[in-house]
Structure 1
Amino acid sequence: MFEEASEVFDNMFKSSFPLTLTFIVFLPAVLILVSPLPADAAHEFTVYRMQQYDLQGQNYGSRNAILNTEARTMEAEVLSRRCVMMRLADFSYEKYQKALRQSAGAVVIILPKNMSTMPQDIVQQFMELEPELLATETIVPVYFALEDDELLSIYSQTQASSSSQGSSSAAEVLLHSATANGFQMVTSGAQSKAVSDWAITSLEGRLGGVGGEDLPTIVVVAHYDSFGVAPWLSYGADSNGSGVAMLLELARLFSRLYSHKRTHAGYNLLFFLSGGGKFNYQGTKRWLEDNLDHTESSLLQDNVAFVLCLDTLGNGDNLYLHVSKPPKEGSPQHTLLKELQTVAADQYPEVKFSMVHKKINLADDTLAWEHERFGIRRLPAFTLSHLESHRSATRNSIMDMRSVSSSLDGAGEATAGPHVDLKKLSRNTKLIAEALARVIYNLTEKGTNGDLEIFTEQMQVQEEQLASLVDWLTTQPRAAQLVDKDSAVVSTLEYYLGRYLKDVKRHFVRADKRDPEFVFYDQLKQTMNAYRVKPAIFDLLLALCIAAYLGLVYLAVQNFGFLYGILRRVTAPRVKQH
Structure 2
Amino acid sequence: GIRAARSNAPTIAITAHYDTFAAAPGLAVGSSDNGSGALVLLALARMFGTLYAAPESVPNPNILFLLTGAGELDYMGLKHWLKTADNRVLDSLEFVICLDTLSDWANPGANELYLHYSKPPKDPTVQKWYDRVEQAARKEGVKLTQLHKKVNLASPQAAWGHEHFAQQKLLAATLSAVQWSRKPYGASSILDRPGSLNLTFLAQTARVVGEAISMRLFEDQGQDLHLFKPGGALDASMPFMAQWASLFGRTPRMPPYFGRDSPLEGAMMGVLKEHTTKASKLAFPLDKSYVFYGGDQAQLSVFKTAGAVFDLALFGLVLTYLAALFVSIRVLTQGWKSFADIFVAPPKKGKKGR
TM-score band w.r.t. shorter chain: 0.7 to 0.9
**Given the alignment of the two structures, is residue 259 of structure 1 paired with residue 31 of structure 2, yes or no?**
no
2:263 maps to what in 1?
A: 488
The TM-score with structure 1 as length reference comes to 0.49
Deviations 1:335-387 (A, max 9, x none): 22111222222x233x2212111111122231101111211222211100111
User: Aligned AA for 1:306?
Assistant: F
Q: Give the aligned partner of residue 217 of structure 2.
A: 440
Matches within 5 A, 1:398-437: 398-403=190-195, 419-437=196-214
Name the residue aligned to 2:350: none
CA spacing shift, 1:311–1:458, aligned 2, 3 Å: same
1:271 Cα deviation after fit: 0.5
SS in 1 for 2:299: strand
Q: 2:156 aligns with which of 356, 365, 376?
A: 365
Residue 83 (structure 1) aligns with: none
Shift of 1:568: 8.9
Post-superposition offset of 1:238? 1.3
Tell me which residue corresponds to 2:326. Answer: none
Aligned to 1:398, the other structure's residue is in SS state: coil
Cα distance, 1:342–1:521 mapped onto 2, change above 3 Å: same
1:308–1:382 contact (8 Å) kept in structure 2? yes
Equivalent position of 1:521 in the other structure: 293
Contact 2:257 2:295 in 1 (8 A): no
The amino acid across from 1:402 in the alignment is: P
Distance 1:529 1:241, change over 3 A: closer
Q: Equivalents in 1 of 2:178, 2:337: separation in Å?
A: 91
Residue type of the alignment partner of 1:370 = G
Check the 8 A contact 2:26/2:296 in 1, yes or no: yes
- Match status 1:209 vs 2:1: no
Change (3 A) 1:434 1:511: closer
Amino acid at match of 1:341: E
Deviations 1:218-248 (A, max 9, x none): 1110000112222111111111111111111
- Mark the CA change 1:495 to 1:569 in structure 2 (over 3 Å): closer, same or farther: closer
Quote the offset at 1:475 in angstroms: 1.5
Whole-Å separation in 1 of the counterparts to 2:199 and 2:72: 24
Write the deviation string for residues 415-472 of structure 1: whole angstroms up to 9, x where unpaired.
xxxx111111111111211111111221xx54323xx411242222212211111111
SS of equivalent to 2:281:
strand
| CA distances 1:89-114 after superposition (whole Å, capped 9, x unpaired) | xxxxxxxxxxxxxxxxxxxxxxxxxx
Residues 400 and 464 (structure 1 numbering): CA distance in 2 closer, same or farther, change over 3 Å?
same
Give, as a single letter, the amino acid of the residue that structure 2 aligns with 1:309.
Answer: C
1:339–1:438 contact (8 Å) kept in structure 2:
yes
Tell me how far apart the structure 1 counterparts of residues 301 and 242 of structure 2 sit (CA, whole Å): 38
- Asked if structure 2 preserves the Cα contact closer than 8 Å seen for 1:312 and 1:395, the reply is no
Aligned CA distance change for structure 1 residues 446 and 570 (closer, same or farther; 3 Å)? closer
Q: Does 1:397 align with 2:189?
A: yes
- Judged with a 3 Å threshold, the aligned counterparts in structure 2 of structure 1 residues 448 and 508 are, in CA distance, closer, same or farther, namely same
The answer on whether the counterparts of 1:335 and 1:439 sit within 8 Å (CA) in structure 2 is: no
Separation (CA, whole Å) in 2 of partners of 1:261 and 1:494:
24
Letter in 1 for 2:4: G
Q: CA distance change for structure 1 residues 214 and 399 in 2, over 3 Å: closer, same or farther?
A: same
Q: Following the alignment from structure 1 to structure 2, what is the Cα–Cα distance between the partners of residues 453 and 235?
A: 35
Report the Cα distance in structure 2 between the residues aligned to 1:568 and 1:398, rounded to whole angstroms: 71
Q: Residue 114 of structure 2 contacts residue 179 of structure 2 at CA under 8 Å; is this kept in 1?
A: yes
Amino acid corresponding to residue 49 of structure 2 in structure 1: S
Deviation at 1:522, TM superposition (A): 2.0
| Counterpart for residue 342 of structure 1 | 135
1:241 aligns with 2:35: yes
Task: Tell me which amino acid in the other structure corresponds to 2:132.
Answer: E
- Indicate conservation of the 8 Å contact 2:25/2:296, yes or no: yes
% identity of equivalent residues: 31
Q: In 2, are the aligned partners of 1:236 and 1:400 still within 8 Å (CA)?
A: yes
In the alignment, is the contact (CA less than 8 A) between 1:218 and 1:269 conserved in 2? yes
Structure (1 or 2) with the greater strand fraction? 1
TM-score normalized with structure 2 length: 0.79
1:390 alignment partner, SS class: coil
Q: Is the 8 A contact 2:140 2:207 kept in 1?
A: no
Distance apart, 1:531 and its partner CA: 7.3
* Matched ranges for 1:180-195 at <5 A: none
Q: 1:485 to 1:567 in 2, by over 3 A?
A: same
> Does residue 299 of structure 1 match 2:89?
yes
Q: Distance in 2 between matches of 1:391 and 1:490?
A: 25
CA distance in 2, matches of 1:394, 1:381: 24
CA distance in 1, matches of 2:336, 2:114: 101
- 1:334 positional shift: 2.8
Q: What is the aligned counterpart of 2:120 among 321, 326, 330?
A: 326
- Structure 1 gaps of 5+ residues are 1-205, 404-418, 534-562, 572-578
Cα RMSD between the aligned structures? 2.5
Structure 2's unaligned 5+ residue stretches are: 306-329, 339-354
Asked if residue 270 in structure 1 is aligned to residue 270 in structure 2, the reply is: no
Alpha carbons 1:483, 1:490 under 8 Å: kept: no
- How do 1:60-209 and structure 2 match up within 5 A? 206-209=1-4
Q: How far apart, CA to CA, are the structure 1 residues paired with 2:65 and 2:336? A: 105
Pair 1:447–1:521, CA change in 2 (3 A): same
CA distance in 1, matches of 2:47, 2:188: 30
2:214 is aligned with what amino acid? Answer: A
Per-residue deviation, residues 8-61 of structure 1 (Å, max 9, x unmatched): xxxxxxxxxxxxxxxxxxxxxxxxxxxxxxxxxxxxxxxxxxxxxxxxxxxxxx
Per the alignment, residue 236 of structure 2 pairs with: 461
Which secondary structure does the structure 2 equivalent of 1:356 belong to? strand
Q: Distance in 2 between matches of 1:480 and 1:437?
A: 35
Work out whether residues 232 and 525 of structure 1, in 8 Å CA contact, stay in contact via their aligned partners in 2.
yes
Shift of 1:532: 9.4
Counterpart AA for 1:225: D
Q: Which amino acid aligns with 1:494?
A: M
The verdict on how the C-alpha distance between 1:284 and 1:569 changes in structure 2, with shifts beyond 3 A counting, is closer
**Residue 221 in structure 1 maps to residue 15 in structure 2:** yes
- SS of residue paired to 1:271: strand
Residue 569 of structure 1 deviates from its aligned partner by 12
Looking at structure 2, the residues matched to 529 and 427 of structure 1 have their Cα atoms a distance apart, in angstroms, of: 44
Name the aligned partner's letter for residue 401 of structure 1: R
Match of 1:362, as an amino acid? Answer: L
CA contact (8 A) 1:208 1:269 kept: yes
- Aligned residues of 1:394 and 1:400 also touching (Cα < 8 A): no
* Match for residue 479 of structure 1 among 241, 254, 274: 254
